[in-house]
Amino acid sequence: MRLSYLILDVFTRIPLKGNALAVVPKADGLMDNEMQAIAREFNLSETVFICKPQNERNSAMLRIFTPHQELPFAGHPTVGAAVSLGLNSRASAIRMEEKVGLVTALFERIDRRTGEARFTLPRLPQRIADLPDRLGIAQALGIDVEDIGCEAFRPAVFSAGVTFHLIPVRDANVLRKVRVNPTAWADVFHYDHSSAYVFTLTPDERENDIAARMFGMGLGEDPGTGSAAAALIGMLAEEALGSGQADYILRQGYEMGRPCRITLQLRNENDVLVHGAIGGEAVVVGEGVLDL
């Protein structure tokens, strides 16, 4: 069996930056365990398998795997798959069936190997729980207790399909000095994948509004995590009271030398979140064939 694949860098238009993604465009016929083995072989944060849709009105069905497990939803594979599909068609709207639901991405071509996609969240983020153990959080992240919190934001658990522990910290200097303490980690971040999304506001940085780092999911640190950014929309919406739309630019991966730029959008009506979207650019950096 020979399978073609692409490598894209997502949340960037610059090759060898952003978050790398493997895309297997014609994955019909692969068994679940074969997809998992292929994702483990690539050993990237995620691999996306593009299959024929169940509904012919849609563009594709996506299966998303980390090296360790399948995910119902993830942002950078969704953006990367939408750009891959968009570059090979004339469509400006890409409809993708994921386990979390139907995802529609608006696609814009930049050049023959680069595009941009933004999609509405198939599931709006929800608050799962508060995280009151500040001492435990500080120990798990290798920071001081007084470093935790940013303006009105407090630690909490949110999910927009994948659960994350959202940890606001005082400023970008604190974000840079985070060091994972494996001994304390699992006891503090015990929901689902034990993943922590540490973030702060960046009023002194001209090109973005928020900075973040993501740790966990068996990946160590991830350069760009769309599903965590989607969860963060829920926390941002709680502070954006009233009605209206807000747009943010989030940076991630800078501390790893893989800078990512993620766009976030939310809209509230009468203090209730009714719309959330994330997006970014992606560039094709390689292609090849798996000979299995």
Told to judge if 46 belongs to the known catalytic residues of this protein, a careful annotator would answer: yes
**Backbone torsions φ then ψ of 252, nearest 5 degrees:** -150, 155
171 is written with which tokens?
A: 């400023």
pLDDT value of position 192: 83
Which residues of the chain carry a pLDDT beneath 70? none
Q: How far is residue 231's CA from residue 162's CA, in Å, rounded to a whole number?
A: 8
Q: What is the pLDDT of residues 12-63, one digit of tens each?
A: 999 999 999 999 999 999 999 999 999 999 999 999 999 999 999 999 999 9
Contact 283, 113 (CB under 8 A): yes
Domain annotation for the chain: domains and CATH numbers: 2-118+281-291 (3.10.310.10), 126-279 (3.10.310.10)
SS3 letters across the chain: CEEEEEEEEECCCCCCCCEEEEEECCCCCCCHHHHHHHHHHHCCCCEEEEECCCCCCCCEEEEEECCCCEECCCHHHHHHHHHHHHHCCCCCEEEEEECCEEEEEEEEEEECCEEEEEEECCCCCEEEEECCCHHHHHHHHCCCHHHECECCECCEEEECCCEEEEEEECCHHHHHCCCCCHHHHHHHCCCCCCCEEEEEECCCCCCCCEEEEEECCCCCEECCCHHHHHHHHHHHHHHCCCCEEEEEEEEECHHHCCCEEEEEEEEEECCEEEEEEEEEEEEEEEEEEEEC
Q: How far is residue 104's CA from residue 158's CA, in Å, rounded to a whole number?
A: 22
Contact 191, 210 (CB under 8 A): no
pLDDT value of position 90: 87
Catalytic choice (41, 46, 97, 238): 46
Q: How far is residue 59's CA from residue 57's CA, in Å, rounded to a whole number?
A: 7
Whole-structure pTM value: 0.95
pLDDT value of position 77: 97
pLDDT value of position 242: 80
Residues 6+ away with beta carbon under 8 Å from 252: 11, 211, 212, 213, 214, 222, 223, 224, 225, 229, 259, 260, 262
135 is written with which tokens?
A: 């001492």
pLDDT value of position 89: 93
Q: How far is residue 108's CA from residue 134's CA, in Å, rounded to a whole number?
A: 43
Q: What is the pLDDT of residues 217-227, one digit of tens each?
A: 777 899 999 99
Q: How far is residue 241's CA from residue 219's CA, in Å, rounded to a whole number?
A: 35
Q: What percent of the chain has pLDDT over 90?
A: 94
Q: How far is residue 206's CA from residue 249's CA, in Å, rounded to a whole number?
A: 10
Chain centre distance of CA 198: 13
Q: Amino acid identity of 15?
A: P
Residues 6+ away with beta carbon under 8 Å from 261: 11, 12, 208, 249, 250, 251, 280, 281
